[in-house]
Structure 1
Amino acid sequence: MTASPSFSTLLRALILAGLALSLAGQAGAVEAAKPSLPKDGAAWQRAAIQDINAAYRITLDNHPGTHDAANPGFQKNLEQARRQGLALAAKVGNSAGYVAAMQRFNVGIHDGHAGVFTTLDEKSVAPPERWPGFVSVWRGDALYVYAAQPGGPAVGARVLSCDGSAIKDLITRNVFAFSGRIDEAGHWWVRARRVFVDEGNPFIRLPKRCRFDSGPGSKPFARTLVWQAANEQSRQWIKESYNGDALAVGLTQPRPGLFWVAMPSFDPDEAQRAAYLTLNKQVGEQRQGFLDAEAVVIDLRHNQGGSSTWSRDFAGALWGAERVDRRMTAYQGDLAIWWRASKDNTAYLGELAERLSKEGQVETAAWVKTIGTGMQAALARGDKFFIEASESEVASQPASSAASAAQIASDPAADLPSDPPAFTKPVYVIVPGQCASACLDALDVFTRFPNTRLIGAPSSADSTYMEVRTQALASGLATVIIPNKVYVKRPRANGQGYLPAIYLKEPVWSTANFLKAVDADLAAQGR
């Protein structure tokens, strides 16, 4: 008899399969866009109006937030998105205006797992990107110069204002009106730096003259900005300013006793998947070395999410799989999964089940079909949601007995005789500002253990809406993002992120600078 797949295995397969289907839909949308580009400004304007209205209707009909009692503001946000998007759409005269109107729609929704993305070939329709000869970065309380051409503002100089407006006000108008969520601290670390990148948005006014401050003992100075075509140097600096240097998935030792674990992606390619398996094997094989270590650094720079299984498996290797399972079960408490049973969402699950079946993933396909069947029944009854049956993860663990289950219920942090030796050495988790989705899931797991300290930037935040699908608009110019399910009673609330214990405000987020910060903290603790 074939054993039933575990929930984590099924969830991973669903995420990966759903992602593959979504990407296929995105690729199809791009192809559809090529032969149908608007011919003039009036046509771009009509397309923007039609696409915003279509995205609004699709989202209203299918997004779980429309009927989420825990988020009564969702429909208000969606209506605001439509209103603000249409206000710009009425002024659109080219492709850049079309893109800006779509971006304003997204800002209004205020949900990182919903909205619309354009599928235009930017090289053929977008104006050339420009920059003023320097690149900036946000470091918690101000914007600083990351790198500059000769004659530009000094590296590390603080940007005070531009054209009489405080730099924070300029960022609000020119960046967050079209991108990101202004109330999330992590988004400032990621997006504020784009204030000195010109993408051709016709609805903003580029700064002309800015004031800078090089620090104590210096006088503020002004520079007239010279906007110029982006080049290889500017693109490289912008890339580097994002998260610093990128390390390959795997384990290194900067010095004896300090383990550095790089996890730049939870959506790994084939080589990275192999590297993750090797990493977990190394943790097991070098167990005593980890127990005797000075510290472990988990580096999430560049991580854009993906599947939570990679961080969960590593945590199990480091702290003990059953320890992780017990603590996460207690942490998640009464978490439930509600699937939005709209006509299109239900059809998507049916298509996904067929796809998995054709690929030979029989057990996973059967589980997905069960969800789809439940959604179909809910749809027939007129119910807005299908509530997925919960399962007792504690009872599913092989080592859990009646006695240990009782102990788990009273103290999930307590060790059991079957546990490996406890890992208690300091763990530093480097958090980038864009950390969301599966990256946040990793923080949920790592922070279940008190020896974990976060370092870097505030994370982004997730909504409680997950498992997205995509739907191409009839114009072929854009695609709508629709989550299919909502987490009910998730302990990390809608819009809640993580704040670091240690902020790294150095303009350059190099591995060397993080190592210095870790060493300083270890020294402060007398280690």
Structure 2
Amino acid sequence: MMPFSTSFASRYSSAAMLVFALLSAVAPLAFSAQPADNPQSPVLPKSAADWRHAAIIDIDEAYQLSLENHPGVYDTANPDFLKNLQAAKAAGLALAVRVEDAAGYVAATQAFNVRIHDGHAGMSHNLDAQQLPAERWPGFITVWRGDALYVYAAETGGPSVGAEVLACDAKPIKQIISTNVFGFQGRSDEAGHWWVRAPRVFLDRGNPFLVLPKRCQFSLNGKRSQDSLVWKALSQQASKWRTESYNGEQLEVGMSEPRKKLFWLAMPTFAPDEKQREAYRLMLKGLSEHRQKFLEADAVVLDLRQNQGGSSEWSQSFAQALWGKSRVDRRVAAYGAKTEVWWRASPGNTDFVTGLVEVLTQQKQIEGAQWAKIQSEGMQAALARGDKFFVEVEPALPGAADAKLDVKLDVKADVFGDPPAFKVPVYVIVPGQCASACLDAIDVFSLFSNTSLIGAPSSADSTYMDVRTQLLTSGLAEVIIPNKVYVNRPRKNGQVYLPAIYIKDLEWSNANLLKTVEADLIRRKQ
């Protein structure tokens, strides 16, 4: 499950941002159906019939809870959601009746998730690695680079590194990926998901409902070859290659200067731990105290590799430090001026938000508790009226802006008091799995014309946000339930960002990425 995103609809107050950051920690506390005597480990089914029964019951329960609580069910902007949810139940149950073990249970729940076609809906199983078959591979790791699958690394005797995978068992590799991968995870119509998930076609976790490739055809420099695949336990070397291939080197949160006048800001997460928060604060301090250095730079690189979201407050703070707070605030306000937040006022969702008030009060988060109280009371009133939604209004909270920005003005024009304009080229490295607050970061950075996206297509975001999870009765899985929907958000449900420059190198190393940036800087001067 992706981390939560504050996004632009949460522009109303810092309290909203605070609460959203806490939701993931609070959700398991608010809804726990696990046995009280063993709250961590579910009781596992003992026979094939028991696993089959658990899959059927859990998929049906997940469907019912989603039907009762998910905002998509009543979202007029997404009339397909209910049909997709119903199709998900049918697809999940069609496999559930064939389940015989833990791997089959997981596959049936994954089939349920895929048919919903939304990253913020579905089920998340609670089985650990020891309860599932050991992961296997055929001796090589692949990567997707734009329009094809390539061999990233291989054991001795395996296919050549850099070779394109053409087909397996007389079927085009794209067809096998669509069946074996996207039949159980991800969304094949999102370009970023091909970069992230397509390579999993050569990783096996015991899914009994698919046929593994046996013999594949490869091509390198115009020469074709065929290899028979031998599936075996994933080795430590394979795990290392897989990690490296995912989206390149992982830098620690921080700022570096690969060469004079070129600054590299690594932002691998927007859900930082305390060490990472301190590193972010140091970067922001450096930007504030030495802004002139950035105004005179050749380029600034904002590296989002590894980033899967968190709180959008971080990216907005960096945008403010680079372009100027007033400029960013004006453009962000205009960008999200028509966005509304509609809270699904079901009994379960309302109880959850009401529970936040007590939790935040106990934590002495006074502003956050007051914000949650406003939403809770609004949801309770909507529920009493029989309304499906409570439409959030801007609360008058301590620390909130006293007046709204006038978004009718030319928000791109400078006004008195703006700091010197920041016009140097900004390159944002986008990984394929970029979603949630990672996408919010691109929303903000892209409001300025000196920003260029490089790397891969992003993933897409749901308009359903602020997820809670509710444990199913069996304890084997949780159902994913967003509490709200964004209405009139500029970035639509399922909309991806495409890079201006695709980086198709096998290795997303710092050196290869820097080479791409330097080449574009030379092109700009010509």
> What residue identity is the alignment partner of 1:326?
R
Relative to structure 1, is the Cα distance of residues 330 and 437 closer, same or farther in structure 2, using a 3 angstrom cutoff? Answer: same
Indicate whether 1:91 and 2:124 are aligned.
no
Tell me the distance in 2 between the aligned counterparts of 1:6 and 1:481.
24
Q: Give deviations 1:28-51, integer Å, cap 9, x for gaps.
A: 859546351000111000000000
Residues 230-249 of structure 1 mapped to structure 2, 5 A cutoff: 230-249=234-253
Q: Which residue of 2 aligns with 1:285?
A: 289
Residue 370 (structure 1) aligns with: 374
CA–CA distance in structure 2, aligned partners of residues 35 and 11 of structure 1: 34
Match for 1:317: what amino acid?
A: A
Deviations 1:138-178 (A, max 9, x none): 01100000111111111111000000000000000100000
CA-CA distance at 1:13 after TM superposition: 1.0
Equivalent in the alignment of 2:217: 211
Q: Select which of 18, 38, 49 maps to 1:13.
A: 18
Aligned-pair Cα RMSD in Å: 2.0
Q: Which runs of 5+ in 2 are unaligned?
A: 1-9
- What is the match of residue 147 of structure 2? 141
Answering whether residue 201 of structure 2 is matched by residue 202 of structure 1, we say no
The answer to which structure, 1 or 2, has the higher relative contact order (CA under 8 A, 6+ apart) is: 2
Q: Are positions 1:186 and 2:185 aligned together?
A: no
Q: Which residue of 2 aligns with 1:447?
A: 446
Post-superposition offset of 1:121: 2.1
Write the deviation string for residues 428-479 of structure 1: whole angstroms up to 9, x where unpaired: 0000000000000000000000000000000000111000001000001000
Query: Do 1:259 and 1:296's aligned partners in 2 also have CA atoms closer than 8 Å?
Result: yes
Q: What is the aligned counterpart of 2:112 among 105, 114, 124?
A: 105
Instruction: Describe the SS at the equivalent of 2:223.
Output: coil
In the alignment, the residues of structure 1 paired with residue 172 and residue 450 of structure 2 have an alpha-carbon distance, to the nearest angstrom, of: 40
Shift of 1:410: 2.8
Change (3 A) 1:493 1:392: farther
Distance 1:266 1:38 in 2: 38
Partner of 2:356: 352
| Aligned position for 1:129 | 135
Identity fraction in percent? 57
Alpha-carbon distance in 2 for matches of 1:351, 1:309: 24
Instruction: Tell me the matched-pair count.
Output: 514
Residue 491 of structure 1 aligns with an amino acid whose one-letter code is P
Matches for 1:374-389 after TM superposition, within 5 Å = 374-389=378-393
Q: Secondary structure at the match of 2:213?
A: coil
- Contact kept, 8 Å, 1:468 with 1:484, in 2: the verdict is yes
TM-score (normalised: structure 1): 0.95
2:320 maps to which of 316, 322, 327 = 316
Distance 1:228 1:463 in 2: 37
Q: What is the match of residue 262 of structure 2?
A: 258
Post-superposition offset of 1:24: 4.8
The 1:391/1:332 distance shift into structure 2, 3 A limit, reads farther
Moved over 4 A (4+): 23-33, 395-398
Secondary structure of 2:269's counterpart equals coil
SS in 2 for 1:333: coil
1:227 is matched with 231
Contact 1:25 1:472 in 2 (8 A): no
1:67 alignment partner, one of 74, 78, 90: 74
Distance 1:25 1:207 in 2: 44
| Aligned-partner SS, 1:194 | helix
CA contact (8 A) 1:63 1:484 kept: yes
Given residue 121 of structure 1, which amino acid in structure 2 is its aligned partner? D
User: What residue number does 1:177 align with?
Assistant: 183
Secondary structure, in 3 states, of the residue corresponding to 2:76?
coil
SS at match of 1:176: coil
Q: CA deviation at 1:495?
A: 0.7
Q: Is the 2:51–2:102 Cα contact (8 Å) retained in structure 1? A: yes
Gapped runs of 5+ residues in structure 1? Answer: none
Aligned to 1:56: 63
Conserved in 1, the CA contact under 8 Å of 2:34 and 2:473?
A: no
